[in-house]
Chain A
Amino acid sequence: MMTAPARPRDLGSLIHHDRVHGSLYHDPAIFEEELRKIWYRTWIYVGHESEVREPGDFVMKSIGPQPIIMTRDGHGALHLLLNRCPHRGNQVCTVPRGNARSFTCPYHNWTFAGDGRLTAVAFANGYDGCDMSKLGLGRVPRTASYRGFVFGSFAPEGPSLAEHLGGAAETIDRLCASSPEGEVELTAGFLQHRVKANWKFVMENETDGYHPAFVHSSIFSVAESGIGALYGGQSAAMTRDYGNGHAELDLRPEFRRTGSPLAWFGTSADRLPDYVARMERAHGERARDIMIDGTPHVMIFPNLFIAEIQIFVLQPRAVDETIQHVTALQLKGAPDMNRRLRQQTMGSVGPAGFLLADDSEMYERTQRGVQSRDPEWLFVGRGEHRERIDENGYRVAHATDDLPTRGMWRHYRRLMEAD
């Protein structure tokens, strides 16, 4: 049975400043509307330029449930193509990555260049008189990158990527500054962690500084980790709402209090002398401050989570199914650092990760719990009384406050209420 799509006016009644309705997480009609108004409209993070370094490189990515082929064509330009032969709809690419001069559909041998153009058809005289020039692979109408991070938008027109990122772009700059060469690379391959939960539970949790002390208490105590203290009631860390749904958990006030380079990474400068030397060469006196501040913890709405040492790409596949694609961040020109980034990422995230196994357990329990009939609402009012505006004009609050979640819902509502 088909359910009628939720009407925009209904959504407004489901989202209030301090509470949201449970149906937003489990109503299939709302999910269909989200695909149309968020996933197939706004800027979505797709992949990183370092994943398709050479001409002819391609890698399978996604925008929501849609598979996307990210390619670098023979001239070095990037393309986001849809995996569908314009002839009979067959999938033209079935391998996760590779290098190819062209894609040939196995069904009737139509062949496409790395930019999606149709370059050859079998038994061409059967198409005499047909205009074949428009029969290339479908493409994501707008593609743009920021510091190597490639985004796509299915809307032919709309805000630019720079407008979409707004102030949150600075967090990506901060990440890149932690590389001696000013670039990050994603070269370690992705883990894919599947959860039976709505994507918004995952997105909201990424900047929820209230949960770590409880959800992750087992690993914090076993590993004698100092991370837990960052998210305590007395923490100086802050949440920041950049607008457009982007939010940061800014841990720098805590790291600055200690003032110890690389403490953010659970280590010290003497353990990574090569990295420290390269950073000093690249950044001079600023190097020390960069290494005290560390890399950001920021959720770029709706699907890119930069989590200090790794990135997560959130992919909704159904109203109650989300894939977390995760890989270690690699800082260009920092081999000793990168090895540790990979090791720590493997330990903490993915299906068997010390942290993410427990986060994901919460996502799934929440997905089941929220379908209980009473109370119908989720309360997101924590810290509303102590929100303030920082020196750059962004809303900030305590690390454990729901400020990021409120910002996400404000933006969500704006997107969903548009025609």
Chain B
Amino acid sequence: MQVDIGREALLRQVEQFIYREARLQDEHRYEAWEALWTDDAVYWVPANGDDIDPEREMSIIYDNRSRISVRVRQLLSGRHHSQAPRSRIRHMVTNVEIEGREGGEIRAGCNVLVFESNLRGETIWAARTGYVLRECGGAFKMARKKIDLVNNDKPLYTLSFLI
């Protein structure tokens, strides 16, 4: 077996990006997190399956760039009650894979487990998360992030932190 060093290095870069994004979410660094998005970004958490048509069917989150900004500003307001006090959260990221590379874009996927503690109690969220990352000025930006929650067909508690 021959190791493809270029691909291995890219995988490390993608992993580091995903870890950093997770840490910004965990630490509620909303503005730094928002800066990771491209102008044409889509932040998507489907409901009732992973392959629904978000233009026809309800999703838990289906944000374009301007709605991502509204989401961030609501969190920054300090009066978004479901995040005041903020949830304590930690994302566990594993199984990172590069799924494709075309033009300047990389498709990557990973498994994510999020542990949340808030006033209600403790909640575990599990997902496969897919990214479309774009290389912009020597760094990655997120053009698309899709979070396929394992239980997206079930009743879910409030999800008001950044997943």
A interface residues with partner B (beta carbon < 8 Å): 96, 187-196, 215, 217-219, 221-223, 323, 326-328, 339, 342-343, 345-347, 350-352, 354, 356-358, 360-362, 364-365, 368
Contact = CB atoms under 8 A, between A and B. Distances in A.
B20 interface: no
Given A222-B70, A362-B81, 20 more contacts: A188-B58, A189-B47, A189-B48, A192-B156, A217-B79, A218-B81, A345-B58, A346-B61, A346-B62, A351-B159, A356-B158, A357-B82, A357-B159, A358-B82, A361-B119, A361-B158, A361-B160, A364-B119, A364-B120, A365-B119
A350 B60 contact: yes
B117 interface: no
Interface string B46-85: 0110001001111111110001001101100111111000
Nearest to A356: B158
A222 B82 contact: no
B42 interface: no
A351 B48 contact: no
Nearest to A349: B58
Contacts of B77: 218, 221-222
Contact of A194 (B63, B71, B157): B157
Interface string B151-163: 0011111111000
25 contacts: A188-B56, A188-B57, A188-B58, A193-B155, A193-B156, A195-B157, A215-B81, A218-B81, A219-B70, A221-B77, A222-B70, A223-B70, A326-B58, A339-B55, A342-B58, A347-B67, A350-B47, A350-B60, A351-B156, A354-B71, A357-B80, A358-B82, A360-B158, A361-B160, A362-B81
Contacts of A326: 58
A193 B82 CA distance: 14
B133 interface: no
Contacts of A364: 119-120
B160 A352 contact: yes
B45 interface: yes
Contacts of A215: 81
Contacts of B157: 193-196, 351
A194 B156 contact: yes
B47 to A, nearest CB: 5
Given A215-B81, A360-B82, A364-B120, A191 B58 contact: yes
A361 B58 contact: no
Contacts of A342: 56, 58
8 closest pairs, A vs B, by CB?
Answer: A194-B155, A192-B155, A218-B79, A361-B82, A218-B77, A357-B160, A357-B82, A351-B159
